[in-house]
Amino acid sequence: MLDYSGRIINLRDSWKDRPALLVFWRHYGCGCGLERGKRLQQEYNDFVRAGAGVVVVGQGEPERAKAYAEKYGIPCTILSDPRREAYEAYGLLEGRPSQILYDAPENLVRCDYDAGVRLASTRREAGRPLVDSPWQLPGEFVISTSGIVNLAYRYQYCEDFPNPLVLLASIKDALNQT
């Protein structure tokens, strides 16, 4: 994993001193991720008060992670996993179009090439970030200081956000596992 400056960071260090909530983003251009980012801004202090460190893992390079955090006010560390090795290690799969584009116009659901080109063009014009794997499904994990995965929440579709009360309960439970 890489931090904003490109330094190599061991993900394991995230739960060395306190439980960690690891939030795996789909990609930096994801509309669902923008919504999750808004929720994370609202929930972040609750997670910290409960005793957790919060780390977002993204597919892109460190410069894109930094720009994304600054643009959208992400309140925690974002680590970069451009080869998606941590995604794979945590069992996060690529989804099917029906899990990502379920509310999109029919031509996008059919993966019509011209529709995809038009979508990419409008995203660039709107200043939206580049997309890495457009099919990557996100996930959220609570890890205790002993490295035990206390909660593994793998999204079943793009906006399948976990209930923050479940995350908070898992953080509190992870504190008792140390």
> What pTM does this model have?
0.85
The one-digit pLDDT tens for each residue of the chain (178 residues) are 999 888 999 999 999 999 999 999 988 877 788 899 999 999 999 999 999 999 999 988 899 889 889 988 999 999 999 889 999 999 998 887 777 766 666 766 566 556 555 666 676 676 665 567 777 889 999 999 999 999 999 999 888 999 999 999 999 999 988 5
Number of structural domains the chain divides into: 1
Q: Which domain holds residue 26?
A: 11-175
Please indicate, yes or no, if residue 110 is contained in any of the structural domains: yes
Please indicate, yes or no, if residue 89 is contained in any of the structural domains: yes
Full strand arrangement of the beta sheet holding 149-154 = 77-80, 53-58, 20-24, 139-143, 149-154
Please indicate, yes or no, if residue 4 is contained in any of the structural domains: no
Please indicate, yes or no, if residue 6 is contained in any of the structural domains: no
Number of H helices, E strands in the chain: 7, 5
Q: What is the DSSP string of 49-90?
A: HHT-EEEEEESS-HHHHHHHHHHHT--SEEEE-TT-HHHHHT
The CATH number of the domain where 165 resides is what? 3.40.30.10
Q: What are phi and psi of 121, to 5 degrees?
A: -65, -45
Please indicate, yes or no, if residue 90 is contained in any of the structural domains: yes
Q: Which amino acid is at 20?
A: A
Please indicate, yes or no, if residue 2 is contained in any of the structural domains: no
